[in-house]
Structure 1
Amino acid sequence: MSDKLNTDFKKHIVRNFNDYLEILREIKKDDENVWFRGQSNASYRLVPSAMRDVYTIKDQFDRPKKPVKLTEYNNRGDMVAYVDVAGMLEEFKKLAKPYFRIQPNNDLEWYFLAQHYGIPTTLLDWSTDPLVALFFAMPEKVNLSSDDTIKDSIEDFQENSYSDKGAAVFVINPGKMNEICTFYKVKKTDKFIDFPLDATEHYNLISTYLPGSCEQLLPCCITSTPIDKRICRQSGNFTIHGNMVWPLDHQNVTKSAIHKIFIPYQCIKEMKEILDVLDINKRSIYGDSELDAITKNISKESEKNLKLAIEELKGKYQESLVQ
């Protein structure tokens, strides 16, 4: 069944696998061209992995600020710092090249691979397969209080769109999202972009989002290329995010275009069992690759460097106050 609530998201609630299929049927009846994303906690925002630990370091007048982890979003124009995405991409390209049978044609395809092998990027994964999204919504462990009931979890979500008492699958129309987010127009026309950009056909435009030389602010929905079996297994596409660190669901205008399907944690066991019967599991979704260990080291090193840099900035800020 589907409980649609009058909130910013187009909200739905499932209590079992059949509910999930019925909601998908309802959504796709109105809109065939949709993408899906699963998150293991409904409280998580739609923000790329590289932008989850962000620190403010300067104000809009280029004056140093005491580095503080960003917890609330604003439009004051502060300068922020996060992990060195461009540096990690270059390191990944050097170390990963021998592991790929098909070599990427350009930096964008390298970026797709980096994302799918665990490097923090400004990409957010979406899938054209709702069962793949459901797999990613499944937490490895669920810690439920003995007093928690499915009714309690549903009521919590009804009151709070970012409830932590369940998982979530998000559904977007990528063309509609581009129409909302984009501030550029299709060349030589007056029409705003209302379709997902193709990674090959629109490479020159999408490349302006790449790390190190990003010229864009707002996110954009883009299709991937079948460069790797992991991307193919996950039916993967992306939103690629610009220099603005706001989550995709930060503004009401984007929230209102997003379906959020809430899955109470009490339902997870049944969902996992059915997905496993359908052979949708970690083995089929990821496969095995020695690259995973390599990318984990690259990510850890970058996170360590960010923390060191922030501590150094904090020290300099304190010195400036004394002077």
Structure 2
Amino acid sequence: MKVTNEHTIQSINEYIDLIENVKTNNVAIGNKADLIFRGQSTDKPLLPKLARLTLNGEMAIMEKLMLDEFKRGSLPLTEFKPGNNWDWLALAQHHGLPTRLLDWSYSALAALWFAVQNPPKKDGKGNLENGVVWILAGLVNDFRTNTEKTDPLSNKITKIFRSTVVSRRISAQAGLFTVHKINENGKMIRFETNREFKNKLTKVIIPHSKFSILRRQLHVLGVNNATIFPDIDGFCRHLEWRFSKYSDEQNSKNERSTNR
């Protein structure tokens, strides 16, 4: 989707310069809130997973049923017991359950990693797709703060939400969320078209030809599967990358060393 505030970067240096420019411009107009970031391997709409599925019933009902089942079956499998539905949703989201939450990060490098961690995908015509990183310059009043007196399953307005750190992944990824409203028609609107947020977004295009070099540079900066996913699964994925070549790296002139 073409947006007004859209930029293409070719290197990490360009990426950092762009972020600094966005930050400087926001401070100049009085917005000192931290920027947040979302990386995607393809340019898909900013919709939570719950809104991208073909559900067996009304969205709000299916969401509650899935969350109830998650609560019932997950306690023996988790090291943290959430205290309310906000924390339950955050924990469920980070383990892949479809929810009304959309993942974001305070870390610009973590977001870039999510965009380039794997080889670029192909569209329906066989063309390689670019990745994207969204930068959100939210205001202080865009954040959901009254979680003790509200329930996310009856959320009436889309907001930014910082959960309790309910998993090591949230901590490692400097994670937070946008929590989305389900409209009366049982659907969600795309975040990039939300009138409260669309003018606060900057879209960064990551050319598919740059995925492999950016992946390698991020590793040098300490951002890889082992640091983003601080568990055995993440460590194993990192080892796989260290000792093999992804499809977009096989013809690279810059050979990776297995000693890194």
Q: 1:228 to 1:250 in 2, by over 3 A?
A: same
Instruction: Give the match for residue 168 of structure 1.
Output: 132
- Structure 1: gaps of 5 or more residues: 1-6, 58-79, 154-163, 177-193, 291-323
Amino acid at match of 1:232: S
Give the whole-Å Cα distance in 2 for the aligned partners of 1:254 and 1:128. Answer: 17
1:133 equivalenced with 2:133 (yes/no): no
Deviation at 1:273, TM superposition (A): 0.2
The DSSP-based 3-state class of the residue aligned with 1:98 is helix
Give the whole-Å Cα distance in 2 for the aligned partners of 1:247 and 1:25. Answer: 26
Give the whole-Å Cα distance in 1 for the aligned partners of 2:45 and 2:19. Answer: 22
Say whether the 8 Å CA contact 2:60–2:182 is kept in structure 1.
Answer: no
Q: 1:202 to 1:251 in 2, by over 3 A?
A: closer
Q: 1:81 to 1:99 in 2, by over 3 A?
A: closer
The DSSP-based 3-state class of the residue aligned with 2:227 is helix
Say whether the 8 Å CA contact 2:36–2:106 is kept in structure 1.
Answer: yes
Instruction: Give the match for residue 203 of structure 1.
Output: 148
CA deviations over 1:271-304 (Å, ceiling 9, x no partner): 10011222322222123379xxxxxxxxxxxxxx
The DSSP-based 3-state class of the residue aligned with 1:103 is coil
Give the whole-Å Cα distance in 2 for the aligned partners of 1:92 and 1:171. Answer: 31
Larger CA Rg, structure 1 vs 2: 1
| 2:90 alignment partner, one of 112, 118, 122 | 112
Say whether the 8 Å CA contact 1:132–1:234 is kept in structure 2.
Answer: yes
Deviation at 1:139, TM superposition (A): 5.2
CA deviations over 1:86-109 (Å, ceiling 9, x no partner): 122122222221233332111211
Instruction: Give the match for residue 183 of structure 1.
Output: none
Instruction: Give the match for residue 38 of structure 1.
Output: 39
Amino acid at match of 2:48: P
Instruction: Give the match for residue 158 of structure 2.
Output: 219
Deviation at 1:8, TM superposition (A): 3.7
Say whether the 8 Å CA contact 1:53–1:82 is kept in structure 2.
Answer: no
CA deviations over 1:95-146 (Å, ceiling 9, x no partner): 221233332111211110000111111100111110111111115222579x
| 4+ runs deviating over 4 angstroms | 54-57, 80-83
Instruction: Give the match for residue 68 of structure 1.
Output: none
Give the whole-Å Cα distance in 2 for the aligned partners of 1:229 and 1:9. Answer: 36
Q: 1:228 to 1:251 in 2, by over 3 A?
A: closer
| 1:101 alignment partner, one of 75, 79, 104 | 79
Instruction: Give the match for residue 287 of structure 1.
Output: 230
Say whether the 8 Å CA contact 2:172–2:230 is kept in structure 1.
Answer: no
Instruction: Give the match for residue 7 of structure 2.
Output: 12
- Root mean square deviation, CA, Å: 2.8
Deviation at 1:255, TM superposition (A): 2.6
1:264 equivalenced with 2:207 (yes/no): yes
The DSSP-based 3-state class of the residue aligned with 1:249 is helix
The DSSP-based 3-state class of the residue aligned with 1:256 is helix
Task: Report 1:65-80 matches (<5 A).
Answer: none
Deviation at 1:239, TM superposition (A): 0.7
The DSSP-based 3-state class of the residue aligned with 1:204 is coil
